[in-house]
Amino acid sequence: MKAVQWKSKRNSFSHTQIYTAKQNKLVFVLATLFTSLLATSAVAQELSIPCDEVEEKALAEAKTNEVERISAFKPATPLERVDPRYPSSAARKGREGWVRLSYVIDEEGRVKDPVVEDFFGSPSFKRSALSAVKKWQYNPAIKDGEPTQQCHQAVQMDFALVGKTGATRKFIKAYKNVDEIFKAGNVEAADEVFKELSSWDTLNRYENAWLLSLESQIAGAKGDIEREAKSLSRLLASNGQKRFNNAVFDDDYVAYALQRKILLDAQRGYYAEALKSYSTLQEMEEQQARVDEIAAIIKKIETSIASENNLKVPVSIGDNGRWFHTLVRNKFAFNNIQGELDTVEVRCDSHREKFTVAEAHVWHIPQSWGQCQVMVKGDSETKFDLVEVAKG
């Protein structure tokens, strides 16, 4: 949903140079990543799926009786959705952005445990989005004739001002300055100036998208795949949609961003995210060439998921103290914990469980629970490996 509807854009400037230079290197990158995967051993639409919550203590043993998925399920339907309040301070400055939330709908149709997965723009957007979603009301989901919880709800709230269009002259001048420094090969200096520009509290959605595009280039030049992947994810969230006539970038650049993100997610072990981006890319018109280019990587990801090798995801928790990951297997564990981890919450299609984190303990999730997302809470800068355990 949108707090205020986004309109047209102005003062656009060409971004063709952003990705054409990298296209010639794509075949080499694909081949390199394909080889590295061989050696490996170790929104915004709402999603509606059922959820039964079970709270357990640390080191709880895996359930021995697997729960079958209930097919007689009627999803929750919205009764009332309160629009988020546009923070007055952000509106006065023309600041725009978005907040991506996940939440659960309880047996009475109320929103429960909303969590901010990511956001861009003013921090006040987070408070406003959380306040609004807590007031949403649904007809509860029904399972076997009885009300039940519904898990894995996800929504992106966009904060956009009516009539706010395109980039300002001040932003374009500052952006071109950073871009020139970057193209001259002084990546560190460009990054410092970029950080100053990104601290502006007047940035609109159009400027956000361009800024994130620039950050992805800087991160790529520095070899920081985590930062590059995050900036591309945020770029896609900021871009708008072609069908609403509010997209910042054209389809070719969006397809490039998706393709690049697939490569990065494959390298990081974020296989579910890579497969999701691939599905989006497949749905785009006139992008079959990019689909074909990335198909070998997708095949290798699918082979890795089905293999007898453990899948290791190195993690460093950010400043917000949370880390999210969508699993591709039904067993996982933590290893090499450096710092403090508090809890892990597992939200699956039909169940939700919470534990405290223990190293050398394997969590078993019944296949019937469907795809699951883990949310890990801990001290910022804590590092660990999440291991998706092979079958057997």
35 versus 108: which is more confidently predicted? Answer: 108
The lowest-confidence range among 96-105, 107-116, 135-144 is 135-144
Give the CATH H-level superfamily of domain 16-42+165-306.
Tetratricopeptide repeat domain (1.25.40.10)
How do the residues of the chain divide into helix, strand and coil, expressed in percent and rounded to 5? Answer: 40, 25, 35
pTM of the model: 0.81
pLDDT for the residue 321: 92
165 — pLDDT class (breaks 50, 70, 90): confident
What residue ranges do the domains of the chain occupy? 16-42+165-306, 49-159, 311-388
Count the neighbouring beta carbons within 10 Å of the beta carbon of residue 105.
27
- Chain segment 187-234, per-residue pLDDT in tens: 999 999 999 999 999 999 999 999 999 999 999 999 999 999 999 999
The per-residue pLDDT for 54 is 37
Residue 116 pLDDT = 94
Q: What is the pLDDT of residue 60?
A: 39
Q: Do domains 16-42+165-306 and 311-388 have the same CATH topology?
A: no
What average pLDDT does this structure show over 322-348? 92
Of 171, 215, 121, 122, nearest in space to 10 by CA: 171
H helices of the chain, in order, are 16-23, 26-38, 88-93, 124-133, 169-183, 187-198, 205-222, 225-238, 251-268, 271-283, 288-306
Characterize 235-274 residue by residue with b for buried, 16 or more Cβ atoms within 10 angstroms of its Cβ, and e for exposed: bbbbbbeeeeebbbbeebbbbbbbbbbbbbbbbbbbbbbb
Round to whole Å and give the CA distance between 333 and 73: 31
Q: DSSP labels for 306-317?
A: HSSS-EEEEEE-
pLDDT score, position 73: 65
Instruction: Classify domain 311-388 at the CATH topology level.
Output: Jelly Rolls (2.60.120)
Q: What percent of the chain has pLDDT over 90?
A: 62
Q: Which CATH architecture has domain 49-159?
A: 2-Layer Sandwich (3.30)
Q: Are 70 and 52 in contact (CB under 8 A)?
A: no
Q: What tokens appear for 64 in the block?
A: 């021995």
Q: Looking at residue 248, what is its pLDDT?
A: 93
**Position 151 confidence tier, pLDDT thresholds 50, 70, 90:** confident
Task: Give me the chain's average pLDDT, please.
Answer: 82
Kindly state the tokens that stand for 138.
């649904």
Classify residue 243 by its DSSP letter.
G
For the record, the structure tokens of 307 come out as 């293999």
The dihedral sign for the CA sequence 198, 204, 209, 210? negative
Please choose, from the candidates 101, 131, 133, the residue with its C-alpha nearest in 3D space to the C-alpha of residue 118: 101
pLDDT at 63: 34
At 159, which helix (H) or strand (E)?
A: strand 150-159
The pLDDT of residue 301 is: 97
Q: Is the pLDDT of residue 260 over 80?
A: yes
307 pLDDT higher than 90: yes
Range with the poorest average pLDDT among 15-29, 131-145, 187-201, 251-265: 15-29
pLDDT over 70 at 15, yes or no: no
Backbone angles phi, psi at 24, to 5 degrees: -65, -25
User: Dihedrals φ, ψ of 268, to 5°?
Assistant: -85, -10
Lowest mean pLDDT among 68-82, 203-217, 264-278, 320-334: 68-82
Dump pLDDT digits (tens) for 348-390: 766 778 888 877 789 898 887 777 899 999 999 999 999 999 9
Q: What is the pLDDT of residues 242-252, one digit of tens each?
A: 777 789 999 99
pLDDT digits (tens, 9 = 90+) for 30-77: 433 443 443 333 323 333 344 443 333 333 333 333 333 334 567 889
